[in-house]
Amino acid sequence: MTTLPDFSKAMISVDFLGLQLRNAILVGSGLLTDQERNIRRLIQAGAGGVVTKTIHPSPPRGLDERVFRIPTGMLNSTTYSKRSVEEWIEMLRHFASDRLPVIASIHADKPADLADLASQIAQSGVRALELGISCINEEDGIEDTPQRIFAYTVAVRKATTLPFLVKLGIGEGLEPRLYAAIAGGANAITLSDTIPAATISPVSKQPELGGVFGYSGPALRPLVVAAIWRLRQKGHKIPISGSGGVTTGLDVHEYLNAGANTVQVYTALHTRMIDTLQDIVSSYRGFSSFHAGSEQIVADNKTEA
């Protein structure tokens, strides 16, 4: 008996950074991707790949990192994984020996330190990296200039042959920052990291979490979609992983139609992590097979309800 190939699966698999992903949906970096067990469960539940919580050579100490839910998403004051580099290398070795599509997110205080970290992490057998260099939750915030992005990117490019994404935030000067990442040797970018936001407590009259921290969630999506669309209109060809505000499979299609090559989902998974991911993946697959053969899927938000 002849077995027909499974076209529905073949159509949505993507080659991204040399990784053969079964679909374009990646779980973005965050608290949920800080444990081996969660990462395995997310892949088993249907994620095309998972980006780890950002690994840093000097893990943060103390317990003052928090998340604060608001009706339109989440504010968080987290920075980097509290696990040591050695612990991560061990975990990444396990993923590599099982050929799991895991991307290691990394950052350090200086470009030379990030280059060292990249070469150490590469020894685990991991197949791709994401430079989590645009986190706004550091003590004094960051000024994300093209010079800074170039310095980090080129240092890592010299240290490893692994493909890597550079994670950028939307906002002022995005195009010069993108040029800096490309000039430094990035294979792809992730757009966007969280953006600066605050909500003021009516009781204390002070910002919740004590200051301005990263916003994530649905309101980010149209902003990032617009930024990606504009970059494509201007002719930028670099692969882009869209990130911000995905809650449904239709949102994933919206990003792909705007010009993203893969799409990351994070905050939505803070509610019913596995069930939510499965819903997103299956509705994404549903729209993919429904529209098979048509060139573009028109994201019609009315159909989301």
Ligand X SMILES: Cc1cc2nc3c(=O)[nH]c(=O)nc-3n(C[C@H](O)[C@H](O)[C@H](O)COP(=O)(O)O)c2cc1C
Where do contacts with ligand X occur on this chain (CB under 6 A)? 28-31, 53-54, 67, 74, 76, 78, 80, 105, 132, 135, 167, 193-194, 216-217, 220, 243-246, 265-267
Minimum Å gap between C-beta 4 and ligand X is 36
Tokens representing 68?
């604060």
Minimum Å gap between C-beta 7 and ligand X is 29
Specify the residue, 167 or 177, whose C-beta has the smaller distance to ligand X. 167
Specify the residue, 153 or 194, whose C-beta has the smaller distance to ligand X. 194
Strand runs labelled E in 77-170: 102-106, 129-131, 164-168
Minimum Å gap between C-beta 10 and ligand X is 27
Which of 223, 231, 247, 219 shows the shortest CA–CA distance to 188? 231
Tokens representing 21?
């992903």
Specify the residue, 16 or 80, whose C-beta has the smaller distance to ligand X. 80
Minimum Å gap between C-beta 257 and ligand X is 17
Which of 141, 133, 196 shows the shortest CA–CA distance to 168? 133
Write phi, then psi, for 280 (nearest 5 degrees): -65, -45
Q: Which amino acid is at 82?
A: K
Q: 3-class SS at 62?
A: coil
Token pair 């004094």 is found at: 140
Specify the residue, 37 or 205, whose C-beta has the smaller distance to ligand X. 37
Minimum Å gap between C-beta 123 and ligand X is 22
Specify the residue, 127 or 221, whose C-beta has the smaller distance to ligand X. 221
